[in-house]
C-alpha cells in the first residue's frame, strides 16, 4: 500500500545513539540521587537509601539471572559479605562508610570468584542447589562467629553521611537533644532541635511537642529564641506572658476537673497528659498517661511520650524508677531501636549489675547516633566499664 511507504523509511536508532540515550538517562538518574540529601528530611532520605540499595541488588540479580540465565539462589550471600566487610572496617579500623566501600566490593568480588569457578560448570537445578547452600553457609557462619557479633550483629557503626547530611532518624535527633538538655548543655540541645524543626515537614505529628521542649529549655536556660511569626504575634498581642501562662494552666486544670467527672474518656486523659507535659508537670503527665493506658494500651509514640515524663528529671546515666522501667520495657518491645528505651534501660541494667544487657543496649544506641553526637564518648566509656573484668 502507498500509505505504508513512510513506514518502510522508519529505521531504528543507530547503535551509537541508543547507548548515548542510556548514558544520558543514567547521568540524570545519578544526579537526582545525589541531590536527594539536599532536599529530603532524614526519614524520607533513609527510605530513599533503602530503595536505592535494593534497586542496586535487583540490577545485579538481573545480570546473573536475566542476562546470564543462571539461577543463583545465594545472591544475598555476597550482599552479606560486602556489608560485614564494610561494618567490620568501620568498627575496628574506624574508617568511614565511603572509605570501606572499595574493600567491601573487593571482598564480594573475591567471594564470587571463589564460588563461581567450580559452580559455573553446573546448570539448572544443580547450580540452584549449590548456590542455595553457599548462601546458608554464609548466614550460619556470620551468626556464629564472635567477631561478627553473632546473632546480635555488629554495634558502633557510624551512620553514613552524604554532602554533610547524616542519615539518622528524627527520634534519634530528638532524644540526643533531650540528653544534651539534661546534661546541662542547653545551647547544643536547642541548636539540634531547631535544626530538626527546620527540616521537618509542616504536618509532622511531633512538632508541637518539639516546640514545647524548645520553649521549656530556652526559658529554663534564660536564652532568647527567634521571634514568633506575625500571625503568632498578633494572636498573643492581647495577653501578657503571665496572663497566657495563667490562662493555659487554668484550661489544663479545668480539663483535669472534667476528667475526674468522666474518668472513662481515654482521649481526654491523653489530651491532659500532653498538656501537663507542655507545662512541665511531669508527674501529673505520667499519671494521666497511666490512666489512659488503663482504658486501652497506648501505641509506641505515646509510650515514648509517657516514658519521657518519667526520665526528664534524671541525671545522665541515672537509673530510672521501677514505674519508668516498666514503661520503657514496653517501649523497647514495640520499638527495639528506640533511643530513649535503649539509653535508660541500659542505665537500669548497669545499676542492677547486668552489665552484658547494658552493653548490648548501649552498643545498639551507638549505631543510631550521628557521628558528632557528644553522647558517643560517654557511651563508649560506659561500655568499656561493662566489659572491664572485675579485679
* Distance, CA of 225 to CA of 240 (rounded, Å): 17
Tell me whether residue 33 is in a domain: yes
Which of 150, 174, 207 terminates a domain? The answer is: 150
Tell me whether residue 124 is in a domain: yes
Which of 150, 175, 205 terminates a domain? The answer is: 150
Q: Which residue has the cell 511507504?
A: 5
* Structural domain for 97, as ranges: 29-150
Query: Which phi-psi region, left, alpha or beta, contains residue 299 (left: φ > 0; alpha: ψ -120 to 50)?
Result: beta
Q: Which residue has the cell 565511603?
A: 98
Tell me whether residue 66 is in a domain: yes
pLDDT at 243 (0 to 100): 63
Low-confidence ranges of the chain (pLDDT < 70): 1-23, 33-34, 36-43, 45-46, 155-173, 175-176, 179-180, 182-184, 198-199, 201-205, 220-248, 316-317, 389-391
Domain count within the chain: 2
Tell me whether residue 179 is in a domain: no
pLDDT at 159 (0 to 100): 63
Which of 117, 150, 183 terminates a domain? The answer is: 150
pLDDT at 227 (0 to 100): 47
pLDDT at 6 (0 to 100): 39
pLDDT at 1 (0 to 100): 46
Tell me whether residue 375 is in a domain: yes
**Do the Cβ atoms of 286 and 306 come closer than 8 Å?**
yes
CA distances to 18, 219, 235, 256 from 241, in Å: 68, 12, 12, 22
pLDDT at 10 (0 to 100): 42
Of 123, 53, 120, 113, give the one whose Cα is nearest residue 86: 53
Taking the alpha carbons at both ends of the chain, their separation in whole angstroms is: 99
Listed in sequence order, the residues at least 6 apart from 13 whose beta carbon sits closer than 8 Å to its beta carbon are 21
Of 13, 14, 373, 363, give the one whose Cα is nearest residue 169: 373
Q: For residue 166, what are the β-bridge partners?
A: 161
pLDDT at 138 (0 to 100): 92
Q: What CATH number is attached to the domain comprising 323?
A: 1.25.40.10
**Do the Cβ atoms of 219 and 250 come closer than 8 Å?**
no
Tell me whether residue 289 is in a domain: no
pLDDT at 170 (0 to 100): 64
CA distances to 178, 191, 219, 380 from 223, in Å: 16, 12, 6, 31
Of 237, 144, 140, 226, give the one whose Cα is nearest residue 190: 226
> Grid coordinates representing 284?
501529673
pLDDT at 257 (0 to 100): 84
Q: What is the pTM of this model?
A: 0.43
pLDDT at 4 (0 to 100): 43
CA distances to 217, 223, 332 from 212, in Å: 9, 15, 25
Amino acid at each position: 500500500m502507498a500509505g505504508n511507504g513512510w513506514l518502510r523509511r522508519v529505521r531504528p536508532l543507530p547503535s551509537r545513539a541508543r547507548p548515548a540515550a542510556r548514558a544520558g538517562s543514567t547521568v540524570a538518574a545519578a544526579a537526582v540521587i545525589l541531590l536527594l540529601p539536599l532536599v529530603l528530611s532524614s526519614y524520607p532520605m533513609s527510605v530513599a537509601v533503602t530503595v536505592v540499595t535494593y534497586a542496586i541488588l535487583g540490577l545485579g540479580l538481573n545480570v546473573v539471572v536475566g542476562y546470564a540465565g543462571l539461577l543463583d539462589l545465594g545472591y544475598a550471600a555476597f550482599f552479606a559479605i560486602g556489608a560485614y566487610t564494610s561494618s567490620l572496617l568501620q568498627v575496628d579500623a574506624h574508617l568511614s562508610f565511603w572509605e570501606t566501600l572499595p574493600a567491601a566490593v573487593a571482598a564480594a568480588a573475591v567471594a564470587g570468584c571463589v564460588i563461581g569457578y567450580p559452580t559455573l560448570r553446573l546448570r539448572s537445578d544443580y547450580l540452584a542447589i549449590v548456590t542455595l547452600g553457599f548462601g546458608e553457609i554464609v548466614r550460619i557462619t556470620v551468626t556464629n562467629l564472635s567477631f561478627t557479633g553473632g546473632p546480635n550483629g555488629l554495634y558502633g557503626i557510624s551512620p553514613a553521611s552524604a554532602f554533610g547530611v547524616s542519615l539518622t532518624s528524627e527520634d534519634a535527633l530528638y532524644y540526643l537533644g533531650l540528653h544534651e538538655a539534661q546534661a546541662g548543655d542547653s545551647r547544643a540541645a536547642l541548636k539540634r532541635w531547631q535544626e530538626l524543626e527546620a527540616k521537618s515537614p509542616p504536618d509532622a505529628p511531633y512538632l508541637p511537642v518539639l516546640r514545647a521542649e524548645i520553649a521549656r529549655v530556652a526559658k529554663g536556660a534564660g536564652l532568647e529564641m527567634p521571634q514568633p511569626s506575625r500571625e503568632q504575634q498578633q494572636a498573643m498581642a492581647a495577653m501578657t506572658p503571665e496572663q497566657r501562662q495563667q490562662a493555659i494552666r487554668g484550661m489544663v486544670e479545668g480539663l483535669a476537673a472534667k476528667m475526674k467527672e468522666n474518668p472513662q474518656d481515654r482521649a481526654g486523659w491523653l489530651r491532659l497528659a500532653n498538656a501537663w507535659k507542655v507545662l512541665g508537670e511531669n508527674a501529673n503527665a505520667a499519671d494521666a498517661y497511666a490512666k489512659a493506658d488503663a482504658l486501652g494500651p497506648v501505641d509506641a509514640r505515646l509510650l515514648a511520650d509517657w516514658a519521657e515524663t518519667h526520665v526528664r528529671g534524671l541525671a545522665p546515666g541515672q537509673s530510672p524508677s521501677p514505674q519508668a522501667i516498666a514503661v520503657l520495657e514496653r517501649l523497647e518491645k514495640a520499638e527495639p531501636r528506640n533511643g530513649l528505651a535503649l539509653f535508660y534501660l541500659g542505665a537500669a541494667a548497669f545499676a542492677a549489675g547486668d552489665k552484658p544487657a547494658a552493653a548490648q543496649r548501649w552498643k545498639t544506641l551507638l549505631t543510631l547516633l550521628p557521628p558528632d553526637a557528644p553522647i558517643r564518648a560517654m557511651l563508649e566509656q560506659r561500655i568499656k566499664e561493662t566489659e572491664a573484668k572485675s579485679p
